[in-house]
Amino acid sequence: MRDSSISFDSSEQHLPWYQTSIRKILEQLQVDPQLGLDQETAQQRLLVHGTNEIQEGKGRSQWKILLDQFQDIMLLMLIVVAIVSGVLDFTDLRNGGFESGSFPFKDTIAILAIVVINGVLGFVQESRAEKALAALKKMSSPKVRVLRDGRIQEIDGKMVVPGDIVFVEAGSQLCADGVLLEAANLQIRESALTGEATPVVKEVNVGGFTTEKSLGDRLNMVFTGTEVLKGRGKFVVTATAMATELGNIATMLQGVESEDTPLQKRMAQLGNVLVTGSIVIVVLVVVIGCWQVGNLSRLKELIEVSLSMAVAVVPEGLPAVITVTLAIGTQRMVKRNALIRKLPAVETLGSVDTICSDKTGTLTQNKMVVQEVETLDHAFRVTGNGYAPAGDFIRRGEAIAPQSDAALQQLLLGCLLCNDANLSQQEKEWQVIGDPTEGALLALAAKGHPHYTEMPKQWQRLGEFPFSSERKRMSVIGRNPQDTEGDEFVYELFCKGSPEIILARCLQYQTNSGIQKLEEGDRREILQRNEHLAQRGLRVLGFGYRRLAEIPTSQDDDTAEKDMVWLGLVGMLDAPRPEVRDAVVKCKAAGIRPIIITGDHPFTAKAIAQNLGIADANTKSLTGIELEKLSQPELETIVGDVSVYARVSPEHKLRIVQALQTNGRFVAMTGDGVNDAPALKKADIGIAMGITGTDVSKEASDMVLLDDNFTTIVAATEEGRVVFTNIRHFIQYILGSNVGEVLTIAAAPLLALPTVPLSPLQILWMNLVTDGVPALALAVEPAEPDVMERRPFSPQESIFARGLGFYIVRVGIVFAIITISLMMIAFNYPELGIDADSWKTMVFTTLCLSQMGHAIAARSRTRLTLELDFFRNPYLIWAVLGTTLLQLALIYIAPLRNFFETQLLTMTQLAICLGFSTLMFVWVELEKLLIRWFFSKRQQK
């Protein structure tokens, strides 16, 4: 075992890493470049150097978070109300206006207490939200491919230690500093570190630089926090965590963002409207009141009325309920494998009406098995299971020895060499580390080459042109070990990729007996066979090769990858995910249009789309080439009809999103590659793949699919709708009651009643306890069964749309009618013996109890309470029971009675309150019946 306590502090070195030769670096870091570190050494180094995490900047201080809470305009208004109420009490006290036993400054203290509690609650929520986001960020921390114990393994980025050998490719985000051991067209964006946006081309420098270089010029090094835009590389880690360059400058890594959701923004606006409205009401009440009497004698009374109204208008409990609902939404989504990165997505997911999905891995299983190989001379069926390197090649019904066919042999060699994946057997099952497409090709090659693990070592890899979604191909250049020294063409380039592209770059083809010229007829036949395989839903790759006299440079891909010899087609099955079919049905019922956008062949895409129900035989499809010929306005006119986009590149995705959005669509789009980032950012909901996605795509997304599955998008959309529906439910519930309170208070002076029916303290009690607690329970209401059968909510649609605003006003009026009737009866029938104090308590109790009935009925806007499973939301039952008992406690427990200025009610009076309260429940249920009747009539017409 190596000495693990070795310190890699740069102060112990003579030269910085970038000036040191690779040999020395490996020596210093005590690592074998062929084997990597062993597990034990890595563990010990982890103890010495700690986990590889950048400690982020402090962000907002706790004090700042607390102070921010008191900037809410509604809370500021409450503070003003508290002060005015305090001044009134103070003058009363000075004038001896307080009765013995009564409690001066009660309203002031209560209101200020509410302000403080609200502030503290907000503070706790925000601190919790920050913690939750930090936890989410940890979950989305990148995975890294490292060489350990001679095997390539995938580990958590934070477990990387100095001396580890790490592999990176386009889309990787660097999580450690290191010196490059290999670089194939490696281009890295270092803007996070240097501020320079243009990518830096990195290269290996065996001896190290001889002169001093600034950070941006250390071309043989890679740094934490930067991103690979192109190519592939391998480096040895020299620094992790806070010892990295990024750690040194202690820049905060861009992470999960916490933003206000559209709803939170709208609620802030609502706050402004309510506060302005209440100021207007206060002024009106005072001015009209004084004008009626002609002097200021009623001023104090009018101010009291106004204060009560101001308190009644503010929905004190609402912000807390909204925060809780969104938090619960993210948790529910994570349980269904959707990780939310930006909070607004929780709510806006419910508005999605178009889902643009990749095919490979999202709609299909991404478990590839090669089924067919076709050279121009022969077709072979391939047997075997999964990625196991065992199976036969069947030609015309008989197993053949693959060595007997020269073209097949060369094609299998291409599969083996033009490949970056590895196969490993874990608990008897063969698994791929790397790209599943390449894993399948490796398994195929292994079936034809008994010594398949030896071949890549004998064929030294001397150059490569990596794969990208734009190029749709990749090549490697190796030296044939059997070539003799005198040969001119000692290097061979193997190229694989989309068959049309590879074929266009071939002039000849390989047969069993030699190389032949490719005639037009041959090309047609190859393309026909390609289409034939694609129509079966197979993913098809084409292969070619050529011999070279020199190793091309990394910029020469276009000239090197041409004049090739065609080898053949490989068709692999990537079966559709069975569960997606149901998800597609669900989507369509929910008014959501699924669209496939894939880099694959149009026939393969269409076959899969038809299999899953996304398209039928008549559905329009469009290829990347066709799309390029269309102007943006032309694309906008047809985008509504096309459900399959094939052979597209990432920049096409951006155009598609834009066209859909111009058509008023609210688009969720998936992406995994580094170049998908702009489309993901542009989409209303950008969705990255948790397993196969690059770090860059995750960084740009709003949501990450932990299982890469289309079904998860639909599940998240459903949860988004539940969140939105529940928010609407409790808003209608809370604001309906507020309107009722205001109208009740306003009615008192109009009916010439002697005093204000509700004190500010009682109103606060209602808004926070009797409204707030059941509202919280409504927030956790499970999904209604038809939530995915309604049309989606457009984000432009106001939260009060679809009748909600009207409902609030209507319910408010019903509340007021109930309480005003109660007041009228109490006054007009003195034989009932209800004195002034008792009827005030009755109004207060009736309002609170009506809200209980309202809460039960508000669970659904369309279905009767009797039709709902009563026990599905046990929280609501507890909330209603608990709040009713608390309300009774305010009347029947003496100290509380004194404090809240209520009156002991007789059983008859309580029964009257109960009777009036049930009217609210009855009304809401009757409304549902009326709405149903109205809609059925309309449908009949």
CB of 865 to ligand ATP, least distance (A): 47
Residues 207-246, interacting with ligand ATP (CB under 6 A): none
Q: 348 or 598, CB closer to ligand ATP?
A: 598
Report the DSSP pairing between strands 539-548 and 491-497.
Answer: antiparallel
Among 316, 358, 405, 684, binds ligand ATP (CB under 6 A): 358
CB nearer ligand ATP, residue 69 or residue 530 = 530
CB neighbour class for 455 (10 Å; exposed up to 12, middle 13-18, buried from 19): middle
| Smallest distance from ligand ATP to CB 117, Å | 51
If one asks whether residue 690 binds ligand ATP (CB under 6 A), the answer comes out as: no
Q: How many Å apart are CA 46 and CA 42, to the nearest integer?
A: 6
Strand spans (E) along 555-619: 564-573, 593-597
B/e letters for 142-171, b = 16+ CB within 10 Å, e = fewer, are bebbbbbeeebeeeebbbbbbbbbbbbbbb
* Binding residues among 858-897 for ligand ATP as defined by CB under 6 A: none
- Closer residue to ligand ATP (CB): 498 or 694: 498
Please report the DSSP string for 497-552 in residue order.
Answer: E-HHHHHHTEEEEEETTEEEE--HHHHHHHHHHHHHHHHTT-EEEEEEEEEESSPP
Token code pair at residue 600: 């694959």
Q: Which is nearer to ligand ATP, 247 or 497 (CB)?
A: 497
User: Is 498 a binder of ligand ATP (CB under 6 A)?
Assistant: yes
Beta carbon of residue 360, minimum distance to ligand ATP (angstroms, whole number): 4
Measured from the CB of residue 449, what is the shortest distance to ligand ATP in angstroms?
19
Rounded CA-CA distance 503/1 in Å is 51
Stretch that binds ligand ATP, among 406-414, 511-519, 593-601, 716-724 (CB under 6 A): 593-601
Distance of CA 172 to the CA centre of its chain: 19
List helix spans (H) across 624-709. 624-629, 632-638, 650-662, 677-682, 695-700
Q: Which is nearer to ligand ATP, 317 or 542 (CB)?
A: 542
Beta strands at 338-340 and 514-517: parallel, antiparallel or unpaired? unpaired
366 binds ligand ATP (CB under 6 A): no
Binding ligand ATP (rule: CB under 6 A), the pick from 359, 449, 505, 721 is 359
Alpha-carbon gap, residue 215 to 501, rounded angstroms: 39
Q: What are the Cα distances from residue 130, in Å, to 259, 451, 683?
A: 11, 54, 25
* Contact residue for ligand ATP among 231, 576, 599, 853 (CB under 6 A): 599
The residue at minimum Cβ distance from ligand ATP is: 599
- Asked if residues 665 and 641 have their Cβ atoms less than 8 Å apart, the reply is no
Tokens of 301: 């009374």
Give the 3-state secondary structure of residue 703. strand
**Catalytic site residue 164?**
no
Q: Check residue 169 for interaction with ligand ATP (CB under 6 A).
A: no
Whole-angstrom Cα distance, residue 574 to residue 366? 6
For residue 791, count other CB atoms closer than 10 A to its CB.
10
Minimum distance from CB of 410 to ligand ATP (Å)? 17
How far apart CA 211 and CA 804 sit, in angstroms, is 71
Site string for ligand ATP, 457-496 (x = CB under 6 A): ----------x-x--xxx---------------------x
Stretch that binds ligand ATP, among 59-67, 166-174, 408-416, 598-606 (CB under 6 A): 598-606
Distance in Å, CB of 3 to ligand ATP, minimum:
40
- By the rule CB under 6 A, 652 interacts with ligand ATP: no
437 binds ligand ATP (CB under 6 A): yes
Q: Which of 72, 107, 358, 405 is catalytic?
A: 358
Which lies closer to ligand ATP via its Cβ, residue 690 or residue 760?
Answer: 690
CB of 660 within 8 A of CB of 667? yes
- Kindly indicate which of the ranges 113-121, 353-361, 628-636, 761-769 contains the residues binding ligand ATP, using the contact rule CB under 6 A: 353-361
Counting beta carbons within 10 angstroms of the beta carbon of residue 379, is it exposed (0 to 12), middle (13 to 18) or buried (19 or more)?
Answer: middle
Say whether residue 600 binds ligand ATP (CB under 6 A). yes
Per-residue buried b or exposed e for 383-402, using 16+ beta carbons within 10 Å of the residue's own CB:
ebeebbbebbbebeeeeeeb
User: Which of 693-700's residues contact partners 24+ apart within 8 Å by CB, and which partners?
Assistant: 693/171, 694/170, 694/171, 694/172, 694/173, 695/142, 695/171, 695/172, 695/173, 695/227, 696/171, 696/173, 696/227, 697/171, 697/671, 697/672, 697/673, 698/140, 698/142, 698/341, 699/173, 699/254, 700/671, 700/676
**Within its chain, how far is the Cα of 399 from the centroid?**
49
Q: Give the nearer residue to ligand ATP in terms of CB position, either 230 or 496.
A: 496
| Closest distance of CB 392 from ligand ATP, Å | 25
Q: Which of 630, 611, 632 is nearest to 622 (CA)?
A: 630
Residue with tokens 């939404």: 329
Q: How far is the CB of 166 from ligand ATP (least distance, A)?
A: 20
In whole angstroms, the minimum distance from the beta carbon of 587 to ligand ATP comes to 18
Q: Which is nearer to ligand ATP, 205 or 362 (CB)?
A: 362
Residue placing its CB nearer to ligand ATP in the complex, 500 or 927? 500
Out of 598, 643, 709, 846, which residue is the one contacting ligand ATP (CB under 6 A)?
A: 598
Q: Does 738 bind ligand ATP (CB under 6 A)?
A: no
435 near ligand ATP, rule: CB under 6 A: yes
Task: Single out the segment in contact with ligand ATP by CB under 6 A; choices: 431-439, 559-567, 736-744, 855-863.
Answer: 431-439
Question: Per-residue x/- marks for ligand ATP, 541-580, CB under 6 A?
Answer: x---------------------------------------
CB 502 to ligand ATP: min, Å: 9
Least Å from the CB of residue 571 to ligand ATP: 11
CA distance 776 to 261: 19
Residues at the site binding ligand ATP, with contacts judged by CB under 6 A: 358-360, 435, 437-438, 467, 469, 472-474, 496-498, 541, 598-600
Query: Where in the sequence numbering do the catalytic residues fall?
Result: 358
